[in-house]
Amino acid sequence: MPQTIHRGIKSLLDEANAAIETVSAADAIKAAQDPNVVIVDIRDPREIEREGKILGAFSCTRGMLEFWIDPQSPYAKPIFQEDKKFIFHCAGGLRSALAAKTAQDMGLKPVAHMGGGFAAWRDAGGPVEKWEPKKKA
């Protein structure tokens, strides 16, 4: 007998969007100029390679988010211990809503997510850089 899903993705997204701040791409473009704001790109590396990335964004794949935020984790990243505002983005704004809600639930604050994601940023004229592979030593 198939298992019944009690809470679907729409319910999770509605809950996330009700609990977190959503910023427009235009506002994120302005905010990114503030040294106390970190734009966090949660897209998969293949998406970044294909589309490019927001100039100066910190890349953290959605799969590693909790591990990189938790200071007790062996994978913790120092950037998440800094006293900054974190604006999460993905390709279109769905995964980043869930990521920002998770980050907020873990105690990271202030957090927000960018409505419309990378596509909205690019369409609003935000600075984008081409993905460059790391040079082999």
Q: How far apart are CA 80 and CA 94, in angstroms?
A: 21
**What is the pLDDT confidence band of residue 131, given thresholds at 50, 70 and 90?**
confident
Res. 20: pLDDT tops 80: yes
Kindly report the pTM of this predicted structure.
0.91
Half-sphere exposure of 11 (CA within 13 A, CB side): 4
Phi, psi of 112 (to 5 degrees): -155, 175
Please report, as a single letter, which amino acid is at residue 37.
V
| Mean pLDDT, rounded, for 117-132 | 93
Please report, as a single letter, which amino acid is at residue 53.
K
CATH superfamily of the 12-127 domain? Rhodanese-like domain (3.40.250.10)
The confidence score (pLDDT) of residue 120 equals: 97
Query: pLDDT digit string (tens) for 69-122?
Result: 999 999 999 999 999 999 999 999 999 999 999 999 999 999 999 999 999 999
CB atoms within 10 A of CB 45: 11
Helix (H, G, I), strand (E, B) or coil at 8: coil
User: What are the boundaries of each domain within the chain?
Assistant: 12-127
Query: pLDDT digit string (tens) for 21-64?
Result: 999 999 999 999 999 999 999 999 999 999 999 999 999 999 99
The confidence score (pLDDT) of residue 29 equals: 97
